[in-house]
Amino acid sequence: MRAMVLKAVGAPLALEDLPLPTPGPGEVLLKVEACGVCRTDQHIADGELPPPRLPLVLGHQVVGRAVALGEGVEGVSLGQRLGAGWLGGACGTCKYCRRGQENLCRQAAFTGYHRDGGYAEYLVARAAFAYPLPEEWPPEALAPWLCAGLIGYRAYRLVQDRQVLGFYGFGAAAHLLLQVAKHQGKRVYAFVRPGDEAAKGFALELGAAWAGDSTEAPPEPLEGALLFAPVGALVPKALADTEPGGVVVLAGIHMSPIPEMPYRLLWEERVLRSVANLTREDARAFLEIAPQVPVRAAVETFPLEEANRALEALRQGRLRGAAVLLP
């Protein structure tokens, strides 16, 4: 099978012909229809999130068809469309798994990180961590749901009880979650890179109540804020934009250093918290609501062999929505 392989941190991915993988017990072999390109993939490729092993196939927003089943797999049919996301497995027995926090499992395996991912023609996934997906949607429209949607939704749920929200960074995750927030009657203010008029227009087009540079103050104090941009300098800015008792959620897996800030920004019972990974319950909840909204991803598609070009477009902020690879 063809795959784009990370062989050295900081080096371009290499197109290689790899052996077709075989599903083991409890696993399913997926023929990849589409795979989203995530900011986390870029962090791994650039060494900001050091890969646990090399060579490695990236990609954890995978839409595929089941073409082979390992021993003991039940509830999956050959030909069924399934999605594989970042959480590729958890132990199921540790204290985190027992209390519903499998996202924090110390033995968790992540797709495109510990397990080879979807920048390839085929992928092996644990069947218990694969999700049924709608048949009527094109695969490239579904791929961003599998991380930008799932982990974005986990972050969003932490401010879901608030009405006035700020989204910092308007890319793959923010443009999906804005649609959910609008569906639920929230008022959303979008903060973009200074001077990025296209991103402002995109946010307003999707229903943001206001869009401005990340340096600007919102029209009113925020009740909740989601930081999708991996920019530590935005943390004190988001706290300053948030009212007393507000919640600021850091939604990324990697962020540049957070600068020193005065305590008064956190005072008055403001809450600053991070989001790590996701649980299968988060996935089920998002995949239930997304077709109801309906959440429509803006995508730019690339052939599999142009994964490096897609990653560079992500680095440079040149994407409107999400990049998706099509093998």
318 pLDDT above the threshold of 90: no
Looking at every residue in the chain, the average pLDDT score rounds to 96
Residues, the chain, total?
327
Q: pLDDT band at 83, cuts 50/70/90?
A: very high
Residues 21 and 133 in one domain: yes
Residues 244 and 120 in one domain: no
Residues 318 and 217 in one domain: no
Note the pLDDT tens digit of each residue in 101-148: 999 999 999 999 999 999 999 999 999 999 999 999 999 999 999 999
10 pLDDT above the threshold of 90: yes
The reported pLDDT for the residue numbered 252 is 87
The reported pLDDT for the residue numbered 24 is 98
Note the pLDDT tens digit of each residue in 269-286: 999 999 999 999 999 999
> 96: domain CATH number?
3.90.180.10
Q: Where are the alpha helices (DSSP H) in 118-241?
A: 139-142, 150-157, 172-183, 197-205, 234-241
The reported pLDDT for the residue numbered 319 is 87
- The one-character DSSP state at 111 is B
Query: Would 280 be classed as within a structural domain?
Result: no
Mean local confidence (pLDDT), 242-255: 95
Residues 162 and 251 in one domain: yes
Residues 215 and 251 in one domain: yes
Residues 15 and 110 in one domain: yes
Mean local confidence (pLDDT), 1-28: 98
Residues 139 and 29 in one domain: yes
**0.75 surpassed by pTM:** yes
Mean local confidence (pLDDT), 5-34: 98
Residues 164 and 32 in one domain: no
Residue 249, token pair as written in the block = 């959620």
65 and 76 in contact (C-beta within 8 Å)?
no
Task: Identify the domain containing residue 202 by its residue range.
Answer: 151-274
Residues 116 and 180 in one domain: no
Q: pLDDT band at 289, cuts 50/70/90?
A: very high
Report the number of distinct structural domains present in the chain: 2
Query: Would 286 be classed as within a structural domain?
Result: no
156 and 182 in contact (C-beta within 8 Å)?
no
The reported pLDDT for the residue numbered 209 is 98
Mean local confidence (pLDDT), 226-242: 97
Tell the residue number behind the tokens 């974005």, with chain if given: 152
Mean local confidence (pLDDT), 250-265: 95
Alpha-carbon distances, residue 95 vs 103, 114, 128, 195 (angstroms)? 12, 21, 19, 46
69 and 23 in contact (C-beta within 8 Å)?
yes
Query: Would 307 be classed as within a structural domain?
Result: yes
Query: Would 313 be classed as within a structural domain?
Result: yes
Residues 19 and 136 in one domain: yes
Query: Would 85 be classed as within a structural domain?
Result: yes
Residues 172 and 54 in one domain: no
The reported pLDDT for the residue numbered 327 is 95
The reported pLDDT for the residue numbered 187 is 98
Query: Would 58 be classed as within a structural domain?
Result: yes
Residues 260 and 316 in one domain: no
> 225: domain CATH number?
3.40.50.720
317 pLDDT above the threshold of 90: no
* Burial of residue 2 (number of CB atoms within 10 Å: 0-12, 13-18, 19+): middle
Query: Would 23 be classed as within a structural domain?
Result: yes
Query: Would 311 be classed as within a structural domain?
Result: yes
Question: Shortest CA distance to 88 belongs to which of 120, 127, 30, 122?
Answer: 127
